[in-house]
A and B are shown apart, each in its own frame.
Chain A
Amino acid sequence: MNMLRAENSRSILTLGLLSGAFILFTGAVGMIAAFHEREVVDDVISLGQLLLLLAPFATGFVVSDRLRASGTGSLLIISSGVAVGLLTALPTVIMLLFNSDEYRFLLDLTLKLIPFVAATYYAWQQYRIGSDQRLIIGSWLAIVVLIGIVSFSFALIFEIKGDLRSVLPNISRDWVEVVTFDHPKELMTGIATLLLVSAGAGAAGSFMVLVPPIPRQALLYGLGVTLLVGAFGETVRLILQENVDRDTLKQIFRRDTLRQDPALMLFIVSTVAGFLWAMFGQQARQGFANLEPSRRRMVNGVGLLIFAGILLMLPWLIGRTLSDVAVTIGIFVLMGLGLNIAIGLAGLLDLGYVTNYAVGAYILAVLTSIGPLGRLDGVFTFWMVIPVALLAAMCAGFVFAVPVLRMRGDYLAIATLGFGEIIGKLAISDWLKPLIGGAQGVQAIPKPVFFGTELRNPEQLYYIVLVASLVTLFVSIRLNNSRTGRQWMAIREDEDVATAMGIDTARAKLLAFTLSAATGGVAGAIFAAKVGTVFPNSFTVFISINVLSLIIVGGIASNPGIVVGAVVLIGLPELLREFSDFRFLMYGALLVIMMIKRPQGFIPSKLVSHEIRAGVNAKAAAAAAN
């Protein structure tokens, strides 16, 4: 059986080239060069290089897993890993050649050959299945002309511009430096290094398949923990700063990067821990399951208590910078839970959620500001305005909901998107400038004062967000199990049937919009108090998309999912600043991938995943019947 089957070699080819295209894409949009700024382990590897290694590693793993399932020998598996690694590097190598001075003519040549090659290939396929000869010649000509216009134009552009960089600014010297592993000058050495490293990573990926499961799990665990700690070195350092003395910290980190020895130690420790868990984890879980119910509840209770304690102590544990991030995350948790009432529970895709956020922020700003626009001179305090902001947002939600009650699905989404854009344009307009400051916004918003102490720091604001989130979470859980919640669910599933069941759909939808707007208003008010100034530029469609993404990724209608979604999607770009440029690239890709592969989200609500599975089954049954 030491032969490669046709489908296996095809999967090597396609997956290898796909991961190669991925690597080239990340390079061309500037991800690799940006991530290179962050060292994962001091002087060993940067995040950009890690990306270059992870793609062949993961692809090699997947391909080899398939090969092993079809009973291929270990030597072939390893060599398939090498092949995947080489294929992954291939597109980048070609781009490196195109980018160099000596081999630029290859770019021109390739662009001019592509139309003929593609047309001839298509014609050959047609010829093999025995198409009409006139049709073959006609399609050959058509393809040559169509592709020729594009590729000859590109050839012209590159010829006149002189280099790739003037069109694709991210195919830059930095990029070359990263992908050649610091051999930007000697092109051939650099290419050889890239091929070698990539092939090595691919081979390592396929080697992982051959390792028995328990050590493999331990190794992957150790590797994962080390790389994560390294990548989030800055965050980890900030946390340790609060709890460890300066000298120890200096031994572990050089500025924000993990030193080599601690990294090695971390790897060993986490691998051993992973090994122990792989050996005895099953038993431990079994033991827990065998406990008496009362004991089990006690263990759960203790776990919950510890969690609550951590949540309460969080600002002390993580320090000021991270508390600020936590407040931002909390604001988005609030909005996520609120929007979830409309999207998750009632199935109303509201793309204008930023409206409520803006209303809350501007209400707080205008009522409490001590600047020129706040004419009330501090009569109102933060605490008095929070309910006002909440009510105002609910009113806005109500007013904008009435006209769209009759709309369904996609029309509703576009109409709410229109509302969001209208609010944004109005906020920046001259018309409302006397009231809310136009493009300059409202300044000098005082911080909230709590029994005489001004809550100036993010550590203190954290508690406001925490309380607001917990209240919202509680309301949200209660709503989910209420009569209204079930009405919403019915509407989500089928509006006509819901009406037939005697549900007043207009009232239920109005309620969903209004309630969902409320937390948006609170979130906006807290945001305004946190930042101290309110600009119209903070209220764009991107806020709505942010909130939508975290709901979809976390899990529609799933409260824990939304919290985790917010922590990951909002926290990640805040903690890894390199990410923030690619934030919406990532969100966009995630939305598409989630909808295709996992529409229920990463932490799905039981009900929704059940429904989706039922839907899939129904679809499969229908397909089988056809």
Chain B
Amino acid sequence: MFKWRTDDFSWVDFTIDVLRVIIVLGVVIGAWNTLSSGRISLAQWVNLFAAGLSQGSIYALIALGYTLVYGILLMINFAHGEVFMAGAFSTVFLAEALNRTGFLNAQPLLAILLMIAFAGLVSMSVAILLERIAYRPLRGSPRLVPLITAIGASFFLQYTFRGLYGSGFKAYPGVNALQGAIEIGGISIPVVQVFVFCAAIFLMLCLYWLVERTRVGKAMRAVSENKEVARLMGIDIDWVIMFTFGVGGFLAGSAGVINGLFRPQGVNFYMGFIPGIKAFTAAVLGGIGNIPGAMLGGLFLGVIEAIGPNLVLAGLGIPGANQLKDVIAFTMLVLVLIFRPQGILGERLSETKA
């Protein structure tokens, strides 16, 4: 067999460096080609950016659930995408009902608040049940065991909801108040994008307040710092973990409603899988376990996903670049895991965390 000298020349490092150079070159050349051809006007770039921010704020809301759980249990709750789906899928029926009574268009703000609360609570119950049934018995086992459980739980939840609500797509009814666009300096941005962004930012501020300013937030921070010491300080660890799952679930569920109002193609049982992985990417991108990091990572990923295909892939002459949106996101995931697993805001993680 071939053998390389690991001390002075690392084959793996070399390959990774080559990969890095290739990617930077590709991005630079692609961007240069696109920008110099001037195919896309400034207004269009701004529109793409705004759409990316809105999509990204949804990723950020889901990513917070990954980060909260990772911060406390050091485990990836792979089924979190399904928690998001549970809320979004259940609320379609409520939205239809509210639409039929006319309440949705008469009192859009109240109706949407009710929907967010409903979806959040449904997702919260799913997340808490998940923790109670699937994860709690496995605390302290080797790290792959809860991950495999989470994968199993993910598919179980998907197909449970498929069985319960059927396998077809169901669309959220349109809300009149969210139609139309806002003109800012000659650039029109759809109202729904502004709404999505503002709602997500509001929820994130609420979370920030909860974690930084309340007693239970202090307990969460204490548990994530050191479980044993927190227990000695009289904190009920099980309750805090359950609460964390609940909060993450609530944010995911509300993201589900916001997503449903934002994207007209509707919801189905499989809708949570891809956003789940993308939100995980966002969480890693911002530094997993880090709450502002997840918000930033989500927004960043949304923007890259919106701009990347048009800027880089189209510039490299790849046809149908917008089909490859997901490829950009997953490539980001792999690249972040390779080059900067600690994320944008994260400090270098110790071996136990990475």
Contacts and interface: CB of A to CB of B under 8 A. Distances in A.
A binds B: yes
B94 A156 contact: yes
B19 interface: yes
B319 A595 contact: no
A381 to B, nearest CB: 32
A244 B152 CA distance: 43
A406 B338 contact: yes
B164 A170 contact: yes
B182 interface: no
Interface residues of B, number: 76
Query: Residue among B15, B101, B153, B155 with the most chain A CB within 10 A?
Result: B155
Contacts of B154: 588
B243 interface: no
A599 interface: yes
B165 interface: yes
Contact of B159 (A408, A504, A588): A588
Given A28-B164, A411-B337, A431-B319, A153 B148 contact: no
A337 B160 CA distance: 30
Contact of A591 (B97, B149, B281, B284): B149
Contacts of B205: none
B145 A425 contact: no
A403 B330 contact: no
A545 B318 contact: no
Interface string B131-171: 00110011011111111110111111111101111100000
Interface stretch (B32-40, B116-124, B187-195, B292-300): B116-124
Contacts of A159: 97
A560 B3 CA distance: 34
B60 interface: no
B354 to A, nearest CB: 7
A153 B147 CA distance: 34
B277 to A, nearest CB: 7
A507 B10 CA distance: 11
Contacts of A161: 93, 96-97
Contact of B147 (A349, A404, A430, A496): A349
Query: Residue among A504, A549, A592 with the most chain B CB within 10 A?
Result: A592
A349 B97 contact: no
Contact of A585 (B19, B159, B324): B159
B212 interface: no
Interface in B1-41: 1, 3-4, 6, 10-12, 15-16, 19
B267 to A, nearest CB: 14
A408 B274 CA distance: 22
A403 B338 contact: yes
A31 B160 CA distance: 11
Contact of A587 (B76, B155, B318): B155
Contact of A421 (B134, B142, B326, B338): B326
B155 A588 contact: yes
Contact of A415 (B153, B318, B337): B337
Given A415-B333, A422-B330, A545-B155, A504 B149 contact: no
Contacts of A431: 318-320, 323-324
Nearest to B163: A29
A213 interface: no
Given A160-B100, A161-B93, A545-B155, A410 B327 contact: no
A405 B4 CA distance: 15
Contacts of B149: 591-592, 595-596
B109 interface: no
B122 to A, nearest CB: 6
A52 interface: no
Given A160-B97, A404-B338, A170 B15 contact: no
Contacts of B281: 418
A430 B101 contact: no
Contacts of B284: 411
A552 B12 contact: no
Contact of B164 (A29, A150, A153, A422): A29
Nearest to A407: B337
A422 B331 contact: yes
B101 A160 contact: yes
Query: Residue among A349, A418, A615 with the most chain B CB within 10 A?
Result: A418
Contacts of A305: none
A16 B10 CA distance: 61
A418 B334 contact: yes
A397 to B, nearest CB: 14
A413 B117 CA distance: 34
B59 interface: no
A348 to B, nearest CB: 10
16 contacts: A29-B160, A31-B163, A150-B125, A156-B94, A351-B151, A405-B12, A414-B280, A417-B277, A419-B330, A421-B277, A585-B159, A588-B153, A588-B154, A591-B149, A591-B155, A595-B152
Interface of B: 1, 3-4, 6, 10-12, 15-16, 19, 75-76, 93-94, 96-98, 100-101, 114, 117-118, 121-122, 125, 133-134, 137-138, 140-149, 151-160, 162-166, 273-274, 277, 280-281, 284, 318-320, 323-324, 326-327, 330-331, 333-334, 337-338, 341, 351, 354
Given A170-B164, A349-B144, A545-B151, 4 more contacts: A149-B114, A402-B16, A404-B337, A425-B326
Closest 9 interchain pairs by CB? A29-B163, A591-B152, A588-B156, A430-B320, A588-B155, A585-B159, A160-B97, A418-B330, A595-B149
